C-alpha cells in the first residue's frame, strides 16, 4: 500500500455538529406502521433503515420521543411499507405533525390493507412489505435508538421481484425504485449495472 497526504479536494468536516447535513447520501425510504394506544394506525417515514445481517432481521433508527418507538415497545410489532416513486406525496404527508389531541388526521385518507400475522396495516400501492415482531431496541445513540425486528412475513409487487427469466436491469428499469437522498431530496432509480465482485468473494 502506498500512503500519501490527503488529496487537495478533500476537506475536513466540522464534527461539532452532525456531519449528515453536510453532504448527500443515498438511502431507502420506508413507512413504519404502528398502532397508537387508542387503537388508531400511525405511519412514519424513516430513511435510516437497513437489513441486519443476511437473515430476516430489519432495523431502523428512531427516537423515544416519537410515538413509533413507544408503540413498538408497547405492542411488540410493526409493519414496513416500501413506497414506489409515485407515492412521494403520500410518504411526505405521513410526516405531518400531530394535532393538539395527539392524533394524525391525514392518516385517515391513506388507502391501506391489513397485515396477516400481526395487528397492523400497510400502505396500498407499495413495492415491498414486511410484518415484523420487535426483536430488541438499542439506545443511547445520542437522542436516538436502533429498533430491530424479525421479519415474520413478507410480500412484494411481482413486478419488483427478480425472476430467472428476466434481466436484472430490465427489472429495475420497468419497476423503478424510490431513493431518499438525505438530507431532503429524493430520486427515482431506473438504471443500474452489475457490480464487479471478485470471483472468490463470499457472503
C-alpha cell at 38: 387508542
pLDDT of residue 100: 60
3-state SS, residue 168: helix
pLDDT of residue 102: 61
- pTM score: 0.91
Per-residue pLDDT of the chain (203 residues; tens, 9 = 90+): 667 777 888 999 999 999 999 999 999 999 999 999 989 999 999 999 999 999 999 999 999 999 999 999 999 999 999 999 999 988 888 877 766 666 676 777 789 999 999 999 999 999 999 999 999 999 999 999 999 999 999 999 999 999 988 899 999 999 999 999 999 999 999 999 998 988 887 77
Question: Phi and psi of 186, rounded to 5°?
Answer: -140, 165
Q: Give the number of other Cβ atoms within 10 Å of residue 85's Cβ.
A: 18
Q: Measured at the alpha carbon of residue 107, what is the angle toward residues 105 and 108, in degrees to the nearest 5?
A: 75
3-state SS, residue 70: helix
Reported CATH class of domain 25-159: mainly beta
pLDDT of residue 138: 97
Short-list 92, 70, 189, 202, CA closest to 137: 70
Amino acid at each position: 500500500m502506498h500512503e500519501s497526504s490527503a488529496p487537495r479536494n478533500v476537506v475536513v468536516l466540522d464534527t461539532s455538529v452532525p456531519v449528515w447535513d453536510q453532504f448527500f447520501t443515498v438511502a431507502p425510504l420506508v413507512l413504519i406502521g404502528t398502532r397508537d394506544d387508542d387503537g388508531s394506525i400511525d405511519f412514519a417515514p424513516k430513511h435510516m433503515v437497513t437489513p441486519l445481517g443476511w437473515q430476516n432481521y430489519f432495523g431502523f433508527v428512531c427516537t423515544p420521543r416519537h410515538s413509533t418507538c413507544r408503540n413498538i415497545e408497547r405492542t411488540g410489532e410493526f409493519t414496513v411499507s416500501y413506497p414506489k416513486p409515485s407515492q412521494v406525496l403520500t410518504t411526505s404527508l405521513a410526516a405531518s405533525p400531530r394535532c393538539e389531541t395527539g392524533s394524525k388526521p391525514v392518516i385517515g385518507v391513506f388507502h391501506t390493507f391489513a397485515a396477516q400475522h400481526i395487528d397492523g396495516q400497510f400502505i396500498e400501492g407499495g413495492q415491498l412489505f414486511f410484518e415484523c415482531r420487535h426483536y430488541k431496541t438499542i439506545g443511547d445513540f445520542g437522542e436516538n435508538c436502533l429498533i430491530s425486528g424479525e421479519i415474520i412475513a413478507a410480500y412484494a409487487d411481482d413486478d419488483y421481484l427478480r425472476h430467472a427469466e428476466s434481466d436484472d436491469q430490465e427489472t429495475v428499469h420497468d419497476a423503478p425504485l424510490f431513493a431518499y437522498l438525505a438530507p431532503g431530496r429524493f430520486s427515482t432509480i431506473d438504471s443500474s449495472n452489475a457490480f464487479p465482485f471478485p470471483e472468490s468473494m463470499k457472503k
